[in-house]
Chain A
Amino acid sequence: NAGVTQTPKFRILKIGQSMTLQCAQDMNHNYMYWYRQDPGMGLKLIYYSVGAGITDKGEVPNGYNVSRSTTEDFPLRLELAAPSQTSVYFCASSYSGVGARGQPQHFGDGTRLSIL
Chain B
Amino acid sequence: QKEVEQNSGPLSVPEGAIASLNCTYSDRGSQSFFWYRQYSGKSPELIMFIYSNGDKEDGRFTAQLNKASQYVSLLIRDSQPSDSATYLCAVNSKNRDDKIIFGKGTRLHILP
Binding site for B on A (CB under 8 A): 31, 33, 35, 40-43, 45, 48, 50, 56, 58, 90, 96-102, 104-110
Among B88, B100, B105, the one with the most A-chain Cβ atoms within 10 Å of its Cβ is B100
A107 B98 Cβ-Cβ under 8 A: no
CB-based A-B contact count at 8 angstroms: 65
A16→B90 CA distance, assembly (Å): 34
Further 11 A-B residue pairs, CB within 8 A, beyond A31-B98, A42-B105: A35-B102, A40-B104, A45-B99, A56-B98, A58-B99, A90-B44, A97-B98, A98-B98, A99-B92, A105-B34, A107-B43
Number of B interface residues, CB 8 Å? Answer: 24
**In the complex where A42-B104, A45-B99 touch, is A99 in contact with B32 (Cβ < 8 A)?**
yes
Among the stretches B45-53, B61-69, B70-78, the one at the interface with A is B45-53
A101 B32 Cβ-Cβ under 8 A: yes
Binding site for A on B (CB under 8 A): 8, 31-32, 34, 42-46, 49, 51, 88, 90, 92, 95-100, 102-105
| B8, B32, B104: the one within 8 Å of A98 (CB) | B32
**In the complex where A43-B44, A98-B92, A101-B31 touch, is A50 in contact with B104 (Cβ < 8 A)?**
no
CB distance from A54 to the nearest CB of B (A): 10
A35→B96 CA distance, assembly (Å): 17
A48 B34 Cβ-Cβ under 8 A: no
| B31, B32, B45, B104: the one within 8 Å of A107 (CB) | B45
**Interfacial chain B residues near A105, Cβ < 8 Å:** 34, 46, 90, 100
